[in-house]
Amino acid sequence: MKDDVLRDITKLCLELDEKSSKIYDQIASHTDQEMLKHFWKEMAEEERTHVKFWNTIVEMAEHGMLPQVFEDPAKTKRELEDIRNKVNTLWNKFEQSPDSADPFLMAYRMEFYLLHPAIGTLFHYMKGVGAENNPADTYENHLAKLNIMIGEHGSMNPELELLAEAIQTLWERNRELARKSSLDELTEVFNRRGFFDTIEPLLHLSQRHQYAVGVMMTDIDDFKKVNDTHGHQTGDNVLKVVASILRDNVRSSDIVGRYGGEEFVIFFNDVEKERFLRIAETIRQKIERVTQDTIPVTVSIGLAMGIIHHYVNDEILHLINRADESLYHAKRSGKNKVIMD
């Protein structure tokens, strides 16, 4: 049932962007001035690019590859259905009297409706898995162009000015809320929830193609001594340095998360054993080398590899447990080493 609601949410988002592109096309067709006509067509084309993005998400939802990223999916669906009704009303009014409608007011209202927090949440989630055509990458420019054009060709009345400010504030707030919900604030890698949400579609992809996946568990050795000797602020700085080194030494498609305390996890999609071991050893050496002139620390690393066959969630947890066991053996056998099960 929850998967059905999630699928319905993605389809509503797709429908809203499809309607938005049609609205901008219609505004263009009722505009005589060439520069403005070109601008509205450009806005419509950008929305069609967003439609490609939403089609990808709908397909993921239909195949069960999208995690449940909403606290109350049923409420989110109701809110998006309400927005769809408002957009349809906006469209109907324009169709009835296109010449009397203020195109900029209509555009601002459309953009306002498209900034529901659910849409921002999905933008941010898909950014984590590297989806193409993500509107989050271009939205600020999209909004800036609208503001510039109304300044040059429209009439910035109090209502439009208020809408423009509200849209900018909503965009910034939604982006920040989505970011905080999935990222560890200190290290700026994924938190545990963000990590599992992000790897879920990658796991399904690996299962479908039978790619080997890998899990790397990394733990800072004797981290309690760092806090006790140098204070928690220094300990926080060490965590940030380690997280940065982890992030900088893996592919953009490899997902780094803070698993808890001083322990980090990395998910590798489609990885070979030799490369996996080489990356782990590079990370271990680099952390030891980079920190030796400040607060010297080392890390122990546990690795596990496997192919996801049937039960995605159960099998990734089993893989993490195996990597954790390898990490435990690295700790027990002297620390500052890499062990693979």
Q: Write out the DSSP string of 218-272.
A: EEETTHHHHHHHH-HHHHHHHHHHHHHHHHHTS-TTSEEEEEETTEEEEEEES--
Return all residues near 335 (Cβ < 8 A) that are at least 6 apart: 221, 222, 298, 300
DSSP, residue by residue, 288-305: HHHHTTSS---EEEEEEE
Q: If we measure between CA atoms, which residue out of 19, 89, 79 comes closest to residue 54? A: 19
Cα–Cα dist 39/60, whole Å: 32
Instruction: Quote the distance between the C-alpha of residue 60 and its chain's center.
Output: 14
Cα–Cα dist 58/62, whole Å: 6
What three-state secondary structure class fits 338?
A: strand
Cα–Cα dist 153/139, whole Å: 21
Cα–Cα dist 203/209, whole Å: 10
Amino acid at the residue 67:
P
Return all residues near 283 (Cβ < 8 A) that are at least 6 apart: 216, 218, 245, 246, 249, 299, 301
Q: Which helix (H) or strand (E) holds 97?
A: none
Q: If we measure between CA atoms, which residue out of 283, 255, 250, 249 comes closest to residue 267? A: 255
Full set of structural domains in the chain with CATH = 2-182 (1.20.1260.10), 192-340 (3.30.70.270)
Per the CB < 8 A criterion, the answer to whether 269 and 206 are in contact is: yes
**Overall pTM surpassing 0.85 (yes/no):** no
Amino acid at the residue 123:
F
Give the model's pLDDT for residue 175.
Answer: 75
Question: For the chain, how far is it from start to end, CA to CA, in angstroms?
Answer: 38
Tens digit of each residue's pLDDT, the chain (341 residues)? 557 899 999 999 999 999 999 999 999 998 888 999 999 999 999 999 989 899 989 988 888 888 778 888 999 999 999 999 999 998 888 888 877 678 888 888 888 888 888 888 888 778 766 667 788 888 888 888 888 888 777 666 676 777 777 787 877 887 777 777 788 989 989 999 889 988 888 888 888 889 899 999 999 999 999 999 999 999 999 999 999 999 999 987 899 999 999 999 999 988 999 999 999 999 999 999 999 999 999 999 999 999 999 888 899 999 999 999 999 999 999 999 999 98
Cα–Cα dist 305/283, whole Å: 18
Cα–Cα dist 61/237, whole Å: 39
Pairing relationship of beta strands 255-260 and 263-269 according to DSSP bridges: antiparallel
β-bridge mates for residue 256, sequence order: 266
